[in-house]
A and B are shown apart, each in its own frame.
Chain A
């Protein structure tokens, strides 16, 4: 299959700190690509570069055949990228339903005047987009908390709502930043099921940052390993597991 995302020679600096140094990797269409590495390796920065939250100094990101050095997050969303954040970035003052509905904002074509008067397209869009949102709510099994303000939800459910908000945008590629951080075993199993189902049934390419090696080795097709902003491993889970640099980065080296 063809590469949907190509990261080429990306370098990102914050002042004198090099967060990412000359990293290149490809993500094939339809695969689950896991980005792993110790804390501070530049994994989240990498996702932020891909969807335009950070602007890299050097390098390009080719997505869907379009090569760019920088992209505006809004344009990335329009091009079909959706993502979740490591430290949940839900809209705390809104309910679960409202949060997931914001994920549909690119499908809303009516003007604010129509929406204010509640006429014509505005009403129809509220109905049809609600239908799409309800499908995702059902898929993620969060029907019972539909009208609950997200601030009142436990952590695991908030992560699920955030996944729903990204999913409802009908993305081509889903960027998940530690979807299973801080979860117990059952929640991790649920989340893994959701990710696999999204990937296999709906065919959405997934790039995921994850620390749980068990999950990574089980569900990903392709693993990229970063350490201190550099790429030290790239390949299938079994290849990466056998890679000496990766073993050194995780287990340490005897001197």
Chain B
């Protein structure tokens, strides 16, 4: 370890619950955070658009699913459905509310609230059922949302192709771009908006996790009868978890459609996306916010890196079908291996590594 924790004492209870209790960690986190903003000029539009922004979007959805599945223990396969509500909600808010009232960040948050409310409706069965049976209810949410937006063309502004491209005027932000002289539709600006939303919501999730709400969620996950005996309202905790989780998924859907692909398309919110996000969550680590981000980065980047390796070493021997199948196999192996060896996922591996380094070179 390049620094020691010896000699670090906390002197009050608020300091004891800080996210980064060590000064060293604090400085590193701050530099990392600043770098996330300041590196933009050094990177390419391609890298931002193909790697970073989609990871921000799916990572945010993973954080959302983490609140529901990792913290509260309610399995869900409706993630993509709730993202879909967010994407369509953002689109319709931008389209139908007068421009001077609506702007993309506001629309993202409002459509997140819509998605949260839809989540609460489909979360109602959670009051009576849990585990795999609840999975069926959330799967129903996935298919219902899909069918609903497919059936009512109003939501797509009667676009016959089923895909609407997002108009450039939606990136206007009340004329902020003109005012600053920046192309707000360009990927750097999109990246910064997605980044601010993701950092803000991750911080919010982390705060929930270390406060009363998070403890209530975890107690419902671990022992719901004991939780109710402690005076925790279990139905309220479950529905609140559905609301917050689906809010995150909705915002993530808006980011995915508006800041990444640039159109609203039902096909990208199919059930396999729900599964992908569940893989990210399991590989990253249930119950850990940073784990969700690690999982999202791993699952999203693996096929890309694999293709790249194939291109450079084997002269493009891997076609897309090979890449996709190998990726699925690797995810499967990772999930099985992690479930057996380290159910806490990457986040727990990181914690173990830190512990080992602390003890190094002694094993115990």
Residues of A at the B interface (CB closer than 8 Å) are 51, 53, 72-74, 76-78, 82-83, 85, 89-94, 98, 101-106, 108, 110, 112, 115-118, 122-123, 125-127, 130-131, 134, 165, 169
Contacts and interface: CB of A to CB of B under 8 A. Distances in A.
A105 B225 contact: no
Contacts of B287: 93
Interface string B212-226: 111110110111011
A92 B219 CA distance: 9
Contacts of B223: 89-92
Contacts of A165: 230
18 contacts: A51-B229, A74-B231, A89-B226, A93-B218, A93-B221, A93-B287, A94-B218, A94-B222, A98-B218, A102-B216, A102-B219, A112-B208, A115-B208, A116-B211, A117-B204, A125-B212, A127-B12, A127-B14
B35 to A, nearest CB: 24
Contacts of A51: 229
B212 A115 contact: yes
Nearest to B211: A115
A74 B219 contact: no
A105 B218 contact: no
Contacts of A106: 230-231
B225 A102 contact: no
A101 B240 CA distance: 20
Interface string B96-121: 00000000000000000000000000
B225 A53 contact: yes
The interface centre, meaning the residue of B207, B214, B219, B231 with most chain A CB atoms within 10 A of its CB, is B231
B13 interface: yes
A114 to B, nearest CB: 9
A102 B229 CA distance: 11
Going nearest first, the 7 A-B pairs with the smallest beta carbon separation are: A77-B231, A91-B222, A89-B226, A115-B211, A108-B212, A130-B13, A116-B204
Interface in B148-180: none
B233 interface: yes
The interface centre, meaning the residue of A76, A94, A112, A131 with most chain B CB atoms within 10 A of its CB, is A112
Interface of B: 12-14, 16-17, 204-205, 207-208, 211-216, 218-219, 221-223, 225-233, 240, 244, 287
Contact of A116 (B208, B227, B233): B208
Contact of B216 (A53, A78, A105, A123): A105
A194 B246 CA distance: 45
B204 A73 contact: no
Nearest to B70: A93
Contact of B225 (A89, A90, A93): A89
A51 B244 CA distance: 31
Contacts of B240: 112
B219 A110 contact: no
Nearest to B71: A93
The interface centre, meaning the residue of A76, A101, A125 with most chain B CB atoms within 10 A of its CB, is A101
Contacts of A104: 212
Contact of A94 (B213, B215, B225, B228): B215
Nearest to A108: B212
Contacts of A110: 212
Given A73-B225, A98-B218, A112-B213, 11 more contacts: A77-B230, A89-B225, A90-B222, A93-B218, A94-B219, A98-B215, A102-B232, A108-B212, A122-B212, A126-B13, A127-B13
B179 to A, nearest CB: 28
A221 B223 CA distance: 33
Given A102-B215, A115-B207, A169 B14 contact: no
A85 B223 CA distance: 12
A137 to B, nearest CB: 12
A105 B212 contact: yes
Contact of A85 (B226, B228, B244): B226
Contacts of A122: 207, 211-212
